[in-house]
Amino acid sequence: MPPRTKTTARTPSRSSTPLAEPLDAAAETDGQLDGSDEAGRPAGGAARGGRRRSGATGGGGAGGAGTRLVIVESPAKAKTIAGYLGPGWQVESSIGHIRDLPRSAADVPAAYKGKPWARLGVDVDNGFEPLYVVTPEKRPQVTRLKELVKDASELYLATDEDREGEAIAWHLLQTLKPRVPVKRMVFHEITPQAIRRAVDSPRDINENLVNAQETRRILDRLYGYEVSPVLWKKVMPKLSAGRVQSVATRILVERERARMRFRAAEYWNIDGRFAATVGHDGSAPDPTPLPASLVALDGRRLATGRDFDSSGQLTSTDVVRLDEPAARALAERLAGATFAVRSVETKPYRRSPYPPFMTSTLQQEAGRKLRFSSQRTMQIAQKLYENGYITYMRTDSTNLSETALAAAREQARQLYGPQYVPDQPRVYTKRVKNAQEAHEAIRPAGDVFRTPGEVRAELDTDSFRLYELIWQRTIASQMADARGTSATVRLGATSSAGEDAEFSATGKVITFPGFLRAYVEGADDPDAELEDRERRLPDVREGDRLDVRELRPLGHSTSPPPRYTEASLVKTLEELGIGRPSTYASIIATIQDRGYVWKKGTSLVPSFVAFAVVGLLEDHFARLVDYRFTASMENDLDDIAAGTAASTDWLTRFYFGDGGRGNGNGNGASGDGSAAGLKQLVSERLGEIDAREVNSIPLGEGPDGVPIVVRVGRYGPYVQHGERRASVPDELPPDELTIPKALELLSAPSGDRVLGTDPATGATITAKAGRYGPYVTMDTDPPRTASLLSSMSLETVTLDDALRLLTLPRVLGAAEDGEEVTVQNGRYGPYVRKGTQSRSLESEEQLFTITLDEALALLAQPKTRGRRTAAETPPLRELGPDPATGRPVVVKDGRFGPYVTDGETNASLRKGDEVATITIERAAELLADRRARGPATSRRGARSTARAAAGTSRTTTAKAGATRTAAKTTSTTRSKTTTARAGRSAAGSSAVAETGNGAGQAS
């Protein structure tokens, strides 16, 4: 297909109507957005190549004698660059994206509210023209930037040199409408030299990158807004689907399914410890012990874990499987045998260094070595980049510039000696599948690298640790190979029963450490032996007799496939070519925020809600979660970024299909060659989906032959066996919900106790255990309920207690102004209330004893803030100093549950975190994530802003494209399903399913 014309003006195929832009920021339409783009920046849109290019390199107005204005994304970046440029320059931040597609119906300008495509924010019937709005919180900054542009002599757009950065620059250009010369300023590191080079070598906006970003944004909007309502109707309200998010969730669910199917198998072998009895070359026998394991019996290989399938059955008949009695008996028969060395095989060992970090490998290694989450790693790396310590941290390249090669080699030579540096620089040109823009690898900034010791005093603990990791990896990448020898020793004996038993030992000796002096890579499996670890063997030779020090039978059990960690999930996504390395951190954060995944230690555990969602998508929208199809979309987006494919044609095929004319690229084609587009696929399949079937996960059959299933209900998952039901505990991983465990849950007493009848009405009163605690209920219509007091329990509560509780809330009387005064037992304790005023009571007993006068006196007192009480409450646990701040971290019990705090920042414990087992490392991660999110926004203030914004209709960037048939329009029935109770993490995230390719993404 022909690409769009690369021009700064509209293409002839597009309408020539100019963009509808307000004269000032105050005239922009509200567009509150809470998502993030594919790089983790505040969400925003961009424009596709070949359209809306008016003034792509600035207007022709005279530049005046004002200062030169530079606009970057973040305030921290602006501050660093301002220090390098000096007088005559002003550096300001856009604070991320300033525009995006409307987030909700309230964000759509009045002029477009009646349009059938308004809910999407994309006119699918007119070339997929996007509707952009300026977010309310960015309006003051946009106003400031417009004022600064008026007084500037030149405008430099210095956003990051990737698709998102290019899109931010384009949106700034379209919104600010500068009448001064505009230059695109790019750099990979923030150092005085790099900034000067960027000023001296500006370029134009890369339309292909902008084009690709907008296409991705529109694609994710269409995917999220079309597929997510299906989940709302068939699974649970407020769920979301996304192009990469759903595939990542599927990967985790498939692994958990494998763990659920897995059946362990037991096998035994014998570990021996031997000692040399013969010295060589005039020396005494080598005292180094020789550990070896039984590997063969009578010439047949001994079975190991890899010889069993997931059902616990052997996959080969050519191996010997020992059980415990056989292994112990064999060890006894070998106790008096004579062991000798049968062979010694040595060969040279050589290991080359690892390439410098790119985004994905940095996330993996920081997860393995520093225990950082992917999101935390990117937050720290962003800060290091903005403050001039490292190069750009969103990159798919392992390449180093000539200056970086020289700096790394010189530093290695100075620190370790010339013998540790090869004659020629090492060049790493391998890039990952679907690599995006060709940046440099992540490395220390500057033409001369600063050592970790030189920056230690300037960085907090976590920033220093990550900088040190990047520095070590960069230096090691230019060092010499590690060299040594590896050896395999075979030894054996004949048992008293005539059996031939052969043992094997392997070892490695490093004779020249090379790059290992600077860096050793970690392993995903903490129990695995690192490839570069040295293991010495004694000096033994063929024919040498050995003393037996120990023969120990050892039992082994096959293990299920390990759950993914953040590091291993990132590695898998990269290998499959799904998503972008720069998006992985936000993808993982999104699936946790949506309740699809929770953490157990470092493992990612999918919830049963995730099982239901993935099952629905696999059964009815298999193509949308197909790994190859998702990866192929990345290839198509790369073609658009390269200017070799047209975005509108590609989106048309993806959304509407191509009637069989497609070639499989983005056309929605399934494996059978059909070419149905996304719109048709969703509309046709919705009626076929059986919600009960989708939300049922079979576990197997009970002893009576009746199936046992897990169902995802409105209030969470529960297990069902016939007519019996029981809730599934939140902290129970799916693979641990076995048939015996399910029967145990079903057999547990419900806790319901009939207490008696109400003397006044004759209604039955029952004490029950509820999801939010024990309570009593009266079977009236509607039923009356009351929570038990903290001093009561289900086992001891009486009918009198229940009758007393059911008098609540109690009306005390009316105040002088006529307002009613009541006393109530709330979620956070007892309190009195008058209108909107409330005050907490000191004890639950006051619920029944406080008088109207006492309540009015209490209401007249100033309201006590909760912080005072929290400060007086002793901590549940003391964890130690925070590695980032040095302040002591404790666990406390708050009104919303347990949380960790360092005295300044509070962070709630998440699902999977336990007060008794949480570590200081996990607490530091929670606190760091909370700090990175910034202060919480007042809901009351947000509602006020929304109401004020709704009062004014403002037109923003709308597109009036060529008219297309109205038959292509779509309509959506709003979900009127009641939302699940607050507290269910899987249902309580966001009513909007689509986001950008990042945090909260529909990617």
Q: Which residues are marked as active site?
A: 392
Alpha helical stretches, state H, 763-919: 799-805, 846-849, 852-860, 866-872
Cβ proximity of 629 and 668 under 8 Å: no
Spatial distance between the Cα atoms of 215 and 3, rounded to a whole number of angstroms: 13
Torsion on CA atoms 216, 222, 223, 224, rounded to nearest 10 = 110
The region that residue 928 occupies, defined by phi over 0 for left and psi between -120 and 50 for alpha, beta otherwise, is alpha
Cβ proximity of 305 and 559 under 8 Å: yes
Alpha helical stretches, state H, 667-807: 678-685, 691-694, 739-747, 799-805
Token pair belonging to 837: 């005023």
Q: How far is CA 436 from CA 212, 579, 659, 999, in A?
A: 11, 10, 31, 19
Cβ proximity of 161 and 392 under 8 Å: yes
Token pair belonging to 89: 């320059």
Is the peptide bond preceding residue 809 cis, with omega within 30 degrees of 0?
A: yes
User: What is the total residue count of the chain?
Assistant: 1003
Angle at which helices 647-656 and 207-234 pack, to 10 degrees?
A: 10
Q: How far is CA 677 from CA 370, 624, 664, 665, in A?
A: 44, 11, 12, 12
Token pair belonging to 883: 């590695």
For residue 487, the surrounding DSSP H or E stretch is strand 482-494
Q: How far is CA 889 from CA 373, 460, 878, 902, in A?
A: 19, 16, 6, 4
β-strand 68-72 against 154-157: which pairing, if any?
parallel
Spatial distance between the Cα atoms of 913 and 898, rounded to a whole number of angstroms: 10
Beta bridge partners of residue 501, listed in sequence order? 297, 493
Is the peptide bond preceding residue 782 cis, with omega within 30 degrees of 0?
A: yes
The string of DSSP codes covering 584-638 is: HHHHHHHHHHTTSEEEETTEEEE-HHHHHHHHHHHHH-GGGG-HHHHHHHHHHHH
Please count the other Cβ atoms lying within 10 Å of the Cβ belonging to residue 469: 21
What's the number of CA atoms in the CB half-sphere (13 Å) around residue 605?
A: 20
What's the number of CA atoms in the CB half-sphere (13 Å) around residue 998?
A: 21
Cβ neighbors of 232 (< 8 A, separation 6 or more) are 238, 239, 975, 977, 993
Alpha helical stretches, state H, 17-152: 75-85, 139-150
The CA-CA-CA angle for residues 466, 469, 474, to 5°, reads 130
Q: Using alpha carbons, select from 156, 969, 244 the residue that is nearest to residue 631.
A: 244
Beta bridge partners of residue 500, listed in sequence order? 494
